[in-house]
Amino acid sequence: MKIEEKIWSNYDELADVASIQGRWLLAEKMYAAAIEEAERTEKSGERLGKSCAGLARVYHKRRQVKLAMHFYQRAADIYQRNPDDHACALAMVLNNLAGLYIAENSLAKARTLLRKVLSIYEELLGENNPILVSPLVRLAYIYGCWKRFDKALSLYKRVRTIRGEVAIAEYRLAGQSTI
C-alpha cells in the first residue's frame, strides 16, 4: 500500500469509528481530511466516493440537509463514473439522497432516484431481496402523496411479500438449528 493510501485509510477509518460512536464533529473532520487526501492523490475516485458518502451520512445524522445532499450527490457522481464496480455503493447513496428529497418534498426527484436504486438492486440481488424494502416503501409513500393509491398499494404488497419470504427463510433456518 502506498503512503498516500495509508494516510487516506487512517483518516477514513478514524472517521468511521467516530461516526459509529456518534462523535459527529470528529467524524466530520476526519472525513474532510480523507476527502482532501483522496482529492490530492487519487485518480479513479473510489476512495473519494467512500469518504464523500461518509461525510454525507454525518451531515444527514446532524440534520444538515443541504450539506448531506451535496456530498451524497458528489459520491453518486463519482460512483456513476464506474457503475459496474460501485453499483451497491451507488444504490445506497441514491437511496439516502432520495430520503432527503422526500423530506424536502421534492418527490419527483426522489422518485427518479428510487427507480434507479430499485433497478440496481434488482439486477444485482434479485427481485425479492430484503434490501429492496426501504426504496419500495419510499416509492409507495410518494405515490400515496400523489393519490396514486393503486400504485402505492401494489408496492406495499410487494414489500409484504418480501418480508413474508424473509420470515419464512428465518423460520426454516431456526428449525434447522440444533441445541
Measured torsion, CA atoms of residues 38, 70, 114, 110, in degrees rounded to the nearest 10: 180
Maximum Cα–Cα distance for the chain, whole Å? Answer: 56
The grid coordinates listed for 70 are 451535496
Q: Are 12 and 30 in contact (CB under 8 A)?
A: yes
Within 8 A by CB and 6+ apart from 16, the residues are: 27, 54
pLDDT at 41: 83
179 pLDDT above the threshold of 90 = no
pLDDT at 2: 84
Out of 13-17, 40-44, 55-59, 104-108, which region has the weakest mean confidence (pLDDT)? 40-44
pLDDT at 153: 96
User: What is the arithmetic mean of pLDDT over 35-51?
Assistant: 87
Rounded to two decimals, what is the model's pTM? 0.87
139 pLDDT above the threshold of 70 = yes
Out of 40-44, 93-97, 166-170, which region has the weakest mean confidence (pLDDT)? 166-170
Question: Rounded to whole angstroms, how far apart are CA atoms 146 and 140?
Answer: 10
User: What is the arithmetic mean of pLDDT over 106-124?
Assistant: 97
Query: What residue ranges of the chain are covered by domains with CATH 1.25.40.10?
Result: 1-82
Question: Rounded to whole angstroms, how far apart are CA atoms 119 and 114?
Answer: 8
Mean pLDDT of the chain: 92
pLDDT at 178: 46
Superfamily (CATH H level) for 1-82? Tetratricopeptide repeat domain (1.25.40.10)
Which amino acid would we find at residue 139?
A: L
Task: Give me Rg for the CA atoms of the chain.
Answer: 19
Out of 36-40, 94-98, 105-109, 165-169, which region has the weakest mean confidence (pLDDT)? 165-169
Which residue's entry shows cell 430484503?
130
Q: Are 39 and 54 in contact (CB under 8 A)?
A: no
